[in-house]
Structure 1
Amino acid sequence: MEKYEFPVSPAQARMLVLDQLNPGTAQYNVPVAFDVRGRFDVEAFRAALEAVVAAHESLRTVFQPHDGGYVQVVAEEVRVALRVERDVPAARAHARLKAEAAAPFDVEAGPLLRCVVHVVADEHHLVLLTVHHLVCDGWSLRLLLEQVSGAYRRLASTGGSPADPGPLVPQYPDYAVWQRERLHTMDESVAFWADTLKDAPTTLALPADRPRPAVQSAAGGVVRVPLAPGTRERMAEVAAGRNATPYMVMFAAFAAFLARISGQRDLVIAVPVAGRDHPDVQAMIGLLVNTIAVRADLSGDPEFSDLLGQVRDRLLAARPHHEAPFEAVVQALAPGRELSHDPLVQVMLAYDDDTSFALDLPGATAERVELLLDDAKFDLLMNVERQGDELAAHLVHRADLFDRETVRHWARAFGTLLDGLLAEPGRPV
């Protein structure tokens, strides 16, 4: 079987280093599961998956050690790892899904995409897809589901080939080469971040229940944040009145919350950005997401509306500089590297108000099953995503630092704070 080697992208290189620090964990697993009711052809679904994998080199990639780092190794063809489990008791199905979603990948052996189908009854299946983050981000997962759905529909309607040639799109290994070749052109953007983050605190002193260990682990926990019904609509109203976006409102509220629990007024919060500005990468499956570090100044006890204006201005100023690889920014600032905490930022806000992940299968309904993995990438991650017309939010925390009850208290406090800030944007934070 033919195989081809390519350099890894900067984002992949950083993730591989972090993955080595916590081997055998699920911190970079990207799972999505569905409860499928109605007619479901497992073999047609397998063929649909294989058609999509054949179309995207990223889904046929593993990572091999090379000269002290890694290279991408792309196989010309692979067989999709789809397993069928029969006679699964409905009462145990969710626990089984979560355990399978949390099973670690071997990034050197692969494959880095796997599927499990639980047959609960003749017309009742649970479908779990899990991909490693090295080859797939959130945008890519939506593309994967859309393309698998399309291939499955073509099989169901014609009984023929699931393949759809469609327009040719660049492949991720080519993107990785292109991005590395462009690194020298990003000096201005790296300098922007170095200037923005100059003299910023490199740690956020969240009140921990235990001393920080010498080497941080990925052990974590997840707590739901209670958001009042209508929060998404109210955020949009507050944003519209101040020439901002709902995401900016959430960022400002999260910054206010962090300032309250930490006592710090100068904060740096990590934010994922899609990295899809170039039209050629809109339909690419791979790891294109980048991390930016956004600073918030809450000195002087500003009103929430003023903080929102500051956040809006800073996020807009950062917009032309999203492509600067986070690792290049870290190197430019050269903060002291320690295994006990991440450099520059230890908290993240991930906000996704796009349409929900979906499988569109003829003759069946597919309802998404919520899977919350416990592995932590940050000391504290606020994950917010759209569910229908509402928002769902969770706090993912490092179990080495925080008790679950502490984070439950924070989750309730944040929900209350956000509700109050939306009701009175003119109140001090």
Structure 2
Amino acid sequence: ATYNIPLALRLKGALDHQALQLALTDLVTRHEGLRTVFPTHEGTPHQRILPPTAIDLPLITTTEEGLTARLADLSAATFDLAVQPPIRTHLLSVGEQEHILLVVIHHIASDGWSNGPLFRDLATAYEARTEGTAPGWEPLPVQYADYSLWQQQLLGSDEERQLDYWRAVLADLPEEATLPADRPRPATASNRGTTHTVHCPADLHDSLTALAQETGSTLFMVAQAAVSTLLSRSGAGHDIPLGSPVAGRTDPALDDLVGFFVNTLVLRTDTSGDPSFRELLGRVREADLAAWSHQDLPFD
């Protein structure tokens, strides 16, 4: 279940269960990736797009106290991607006017950017279905299978150039960026984690934004330079490689599509030579722009 994406949406007020189920069916019909399975042939997986069918939306009655545990159990159920579509939905009722819609999608079919078009299309379809009509949206310009073919064609013609770039940029990269730790790394990953939230005061945010504008960089680059400085001064050395996700939607036709486009880039920062922060920011800017222009090569 590590690659499950659970999305829980609290719905308040009167709910039309049948209209919501029809809207979810509209959603899966619109986005082929949500009804794609991945059987293997001679050891190699391939996409097989299933015809549109009505999606299941079981109604589960629970309490507010038992909600968290129930959501966790439903979210942890795994997918057999060879035969099961990568989406599963449940509707949990905690009162006549209080429901939670749980949509669990396998990461093979979605990413963070996809949440926007997914919920926007679902809202459009639900509004239409409550009025007894089908959603009147424009057809999507492309589907995920089109993107897959395009990516294969691109890499067929450009893969060696991008590989040459990354081989050069990542040459002699440390196997691991190490920091002084208070406990050893476990032999087996637990896949458990948590979130630590840091608040940036408005005046500091304004100053950082101004610095980015003055140097022709972005707020992301400023933050990356700051993190690299912190890691370097904390004992990680002067060669700081950071893994960073990139949306991977390099064509506007992909913006409204639910699918897995995200890629991971290695952004390598050289903090040696005691540079000023502005000098370091210049190094980060140059490295990041080059990495983003070679972002099509899959991380693996």
Fold shared by both chains (TM-score > 0.5): yes
Shift of 1:41: 1.7
Q: Find the counterpart in structure 2 of residue 295 from structure 1.
A: 268
Q: Quick one: which of 187, 197, 209 aligns to 1:225?
A: 197
Q: 1:169-204: per-residue Cα shift (whole Å, max 9, x none)? A: 221122212211221222222222221111221322
User: Is the aligned partner of 1:193 residue 2:160?
Assistant: no
Q: Quick one: which of 175, 184, 208 aligns to 1:202?
A: 175
User: Is the aligned partner of 1:164 residue 2:164?
Assistant: no
Q: Quick one: which of 202, 205, 229 aligns to 1:256?
A: 229
Structure 1 pair 71–206 and aligned structure 2 pair: CA distance change class (3 A): farther
Alpha-carbon distance between aligned partners in 1 of 2:148 and 2:213, rounded to the nearest angstrom: 38
Q: Is the 8 A contact 2:232 2:271 kept in 1?
A: yes
Structure 1 pair 89–294 and aligned structure 2 pair: CA distance change class (3 A): same
Alpha-carbon distance between aligned partners in 2 of 1:46 and 1:281, rounded to the nearest angstrom: 26
Alpha-carbon distance between aligned partners in 2 of 1:34 and 1:217, rounded to the nearest angstrom: 30
Structure 1 pair 262–135 and aligned structure 2 pair: CA distance change class (3 A): farther
Q: Find the counterpart in structure 2 of residue 283 from structure 1.
A: 256
The percent identity for this pair of structures is 33
Shift of 1:68: 2.1
Q: 1:360-396: per-residue Cα shift (whole Å, max 9, x none)? A: xxxxxxxxxxxxxxxxxxxxxxxxxxxxxxxxxxxxx
Alpha-carbon distance between aligned partners in 2 of 1:107 and 1:206, rounded to the nearest angstrom: 38
Shift of 1:120: 1.1
Amino acid at match of 1:115: T
Q: 1:213-240: per-residue Cα shift (whole Å, max 9, x none)? A: 2xx4352221323324436555423323
Q: Find the counterpart in structure 1 of residue 47 from structure 2.
A: 72
Shift of 1:141: 2.0
Map 1:3-402 → 2, pairs under 5 A = 26-86=1-61, 88-156=62-130, 158-161=131-134, 163-186=135-158, 187-208=160-181, 209-213=183-187, 216-217=188-189, 219-230=191-202, 232-327=205-300
Shift of 1:295: 0.5
Select the structure with the greater relative contact order (CA < 8 A; seq sep ≥ 6).
Answer: 1
Amino acid at match of 2:23: A
Alpha-carbon distance between aligned partners in 2 of 1:260 and 1:106, rounded to the nearest angstrom: 46
Runs (5+) with no aligned partner, structure 2: none
TM-score, normalised by the number of residues in structure 1 = 0.64
Q: Say how many residue pairs are matched.
A: 297
Structure 1 pair 264–126 and aligned structure 2 pair: CA distance change class (3 A): same
Alpha-carbon distance between aligned partners in 1 of 2:118 and 2:124, rounded to the nearest angstrom: 10
Shift of 1:308: 2.2
| 2:58 aligned counterpart, secondary structure | strand
Q: Is the 8 A contact 1:115 1:127 kept in 2?
A: yes
Alpha-carbon distance between aligned partners in 2 of 1:302 and 1:110, rounded to the nearest angstrom: 54
246-255 or 122-131, which deviates more: 246-255
Runs (5+) with no aligned partner, structure 1: 1-25, 328-429
Shift of 1:50: 0.4
| 1:182 aligned counterpart, secondary structure | helix
Shift of 1:262: 4.4
Amino acid at match of 1:49: L
Q: Is the 8 A contact 1:169 1:283 kept in 2?
A: no
Shift of 1:30: 1.5
Q: Find the counterpart in structure 2 of residue 417 from structure 1.
A: none
Amino acid at match of 2:147: Y
Shift of 1:53: 0.4
Relative to total residues, which structure has the larger strand share, 1 or 2? 1
Amino acid at match of 1:204: A
Q: Is the 8 A contact 1:37 1:125 kept in 2?
A: yes
